[in-house]
Structure 1
Amino acid sequence: MSSPAESRPETGTVPSSPTKLGLREWLAVFKRSFKEFLGDDCMGLAQEIAYSSLLAFFPALIFLVGLLGLINGYDTLQEFLGPVAPGAVLDVIGDIQKASEGKGGASLVAFMAGAAGAVWASSGAMNSVIKAVNRAYDRTETRPFWKVRLIAIFLVVLTGFVTAALFLLIVFGGPLGEAIAARAGLGGAFDLVWSILRWPIAFVAILIFFALVYFLAPNRDERSWRWVSPGSLVAGALWLVLSGLFALYTSFAGSYEAYGSIAGGIVLLLWLNYSAFALLFGAEVNSELDRQADIRASGGPNAGLIERARRQ
């Protein structure tokens, strides 16, 4: 760890943004972030987030089935996904459609039960995220239950939109661009531009999601987009690296084929775990940036133990 003298070249002043920190201060931030990531048991917290998220997946699936049955949306969904989705996905949708035909009342019950279960289970999973981010920020939760639950529900809805966007951009991005070009009469130039732009768009969506989590989840009074952006960038880059390596492993290893039908659940659980790693490490980076600003302002390495400096 850098000495206090190295970490605070300009004591007594509050930096207006993370860009005002020096190189030695940034090195001190990352060094402490790694230490705190292990000290706060972020690996265990990431597993808790992954399991909670996986449990929330099934009520959400029931909700989707009920919704499609109520609005007769199976044909529309198949028409939309037909040009881009793998055949196995379309087969699953077809099986669900056959099982729900002639069961309007059952679809209504499934929709209502799925809506209640999905909201409760998903917000419970997001509560695990809020608890973990509070741990990373060294905060104790003092907000009322209803307020935390409302924040969790908002983040759940946000997660749904971001997940859908990433699913379309990353998984079906190539075929989707070809389908758009074909239907709109666009040439091959569009395919080239789309193949390049869809990755930055996906990355920006991830950055916005992480920034909103860091802005809303921790129990803190002082909030600033400038001071959550660095952790969002770190978490987004780490998430892309981990997701890419994991996708590469699953595509070449083939070891999950032995698990048959549960292979998808295993892969999803591991990917959620790695995503939580990235989320929590970004939170640790933001927390240590706060601490570094306090060190600069107070002129001592114990600034993290006192009230954090307010940044406008």
Structure 2
Amino acid sequence: MKRQAIWNLLKETFAQWQEDKIPLLAAALAYYTVFSLAPLLIIAIAIAGFVLGQDTVQTQLVEQLQDLIGREGAQAIRTMIDNAYEPTSNLIAAIIGAITLLFGATTVFAQLKEALNIIWKVTPQPGRPVRGFVKARLLSFTLVLGLGFLLLVSLLASAILAGISRWLEGLLTTPPWVWQLIDLGLSFSVITLLFALIYKLLPDAKIAWTDVGVGAAITSVLFTIGKFLIGLYLGNSGIASAYGAAGSFVVILIWIFYSAQLLLTGAEFTQVWANRYGSRIRPRRSLAIAPDNLHRVEAPPKRTPGSRRRKILKNIRKRTQKNQKHHQDFPKKSPLD
């Protein structure tokens, strides 16, 4: 890709980023994520815990979160999870708690779907609100299960990689950074797959897997770099101590807000890429409609010598007709005047 094409792509992405008000969408998504975080992690830990054990998964997850948002934020999330696991002897309360758990875990994906529909420039079809609500929640729950499965795959891969590195310590003198690089590549692949599933399945639009793959890879790069920068900022800014007792909550909220901005910015890039170089984003039949002002990025038509000649002749005819009309409207003077 040429340098000018890359610049145009980035410029168009930024223009669309401003038009769709990505910070506002990210703020709404962060608000819903805060309330969905505990049930979302509980379901993901439960799925991965079937294989690795619940305590092991929870401990490793908290350790990874500690690298991202610091010790205070990770401890706050662990407290949220522990409180949600408190057993109850009341059957009705347990049923209500399970329903609330599922509803809370899927709320963040429902809000993410609304944000992606805005970025994708599609609008859900009116009518059948109950059916649409149930279908959206089922799809969101499927993604929750997929998140738990990807967490399991990531933890298993890290455990297997650690076992292989320990086994090869006595046989090969492999530098530690090699295994760290492999672990980073595995994490990058898992995150890319998660973003690809979100971009492909959530919105009410059709988009080719090739376009989704490019957008998900770019989003993963943004997320990996941004994750490091956000962690560096939160670890050295002293925000947690500035807000006192609410410091842990503020740290979690800031981390979620900036992560949501990275996710939606990647979606904006995917939309521009698909419409400029890919197969274009189309609304799903009977599910969504594209607005009349749908923005399309198209290359300007090439001017041929014939089209230029026709344009010149057309301008000459217009000028001639205008002059003739001017002479006809001008009053004729009498010879005696």
Is the shorter-chain TM-score for this pair beyond 0.5, marking a shared fold? yes
* Bigger radius of gyration: 2
Change (3 A) 1:257 1:182: farther
- Give the distance between the partners of 2:41 and 2:218, measured in 1 at CA: 31
Q: CA RMSD in A?
A: 4.5
Match for residue 23 of structure 2? 43
**Match status 1:211 vs 2:196:** yes
Match for residue 233 of structure 2? 249
Describe how 1:27-176 pairs up with structure 2 within 5 A.
27-60=7-40, 77=55, 81=59, 96=82, 105=89, 112-142=95-125, 144-162=132-150
- Give the distance between the partners of 2:95 and 2:122, measured in 1 at CA: 36
TM-score by length of 1: 0.67
Residue 58 (structure 1) shift:
3.6
- Give the distance between the partners of 2:203 and 2:5, measured in 1 at CA: 23
- Give the distance between the partners of 1:152 and 1:177, measured in 2 at CA: 30
Residue 29 (structure 1) shift:
2.4
- Give the distance between the partners of 2:24 and 2:57, measured in 1 at CA: 42
Residue 194 (structure 1) shift:
2.6
Match for residue 205 of structure 2? 220
Residue 184 (structure 1) shift:
5.9
Change (3 A) 1:189 1:38: same
- 1:116-172 per-position Cα deviation (integer Å, ceiling 9, x unaligned): 222211211111111111111111123933322222112222334446777x69xxx
Residue 272 (structure 1) shift:
1.2
Match for residue 197 of structure 1? 182
Change (3 A) 1:26 1:219: farther
Change (3 A) 1:191 1:44: same
Change (3 A) 1:63 1:229: closer
Equivalent residue letter for 1:77: D
- Give the distance between the partners of 1:78 and 1:180, measured in 2 at CA: 16
TM-score by length of 2: 0.62
Change (3 A) 1:220 1:181: closer
Change (3 A) 1:137 1:114: same
Change (3 A) 1:190 1:141: farther
Equivalent residue letter for 1:120: F
Unaligned runs of at least 5 residues, structure 2? 127-131, 281-291, 299-337
Residue 22 (structure 1) shift:
5.5
Q: Which residue, out of 212, 220, 226, partners 1:236?
A: 220
- Give the distance between the partners of 1:291 and 1:270, measured in 2 at CA: 32
- Give the distance between the partners of 1:138 and 1:111, measured in 2 at CA: 41
- Give the distance between the partners of 1:246 and 1:79, measured in 2 at CA: 24
How much identity, in percent, do the aligned residues show? 24
Contact 1:177 1:191 in 2 (8 A): no
- Give the distance between the partners of 1:178 and 1:232, measured in 2 at CA: 25
Equivalent residue letter for 2:249: G
- Give the distance between the partners of 1:250 and 1:303, measured in 2 at CA: 41
Describe how 1:1-16 pairs up with structure 2 within 5 A.
none
3-state SS of paired residue (2:125):
coil
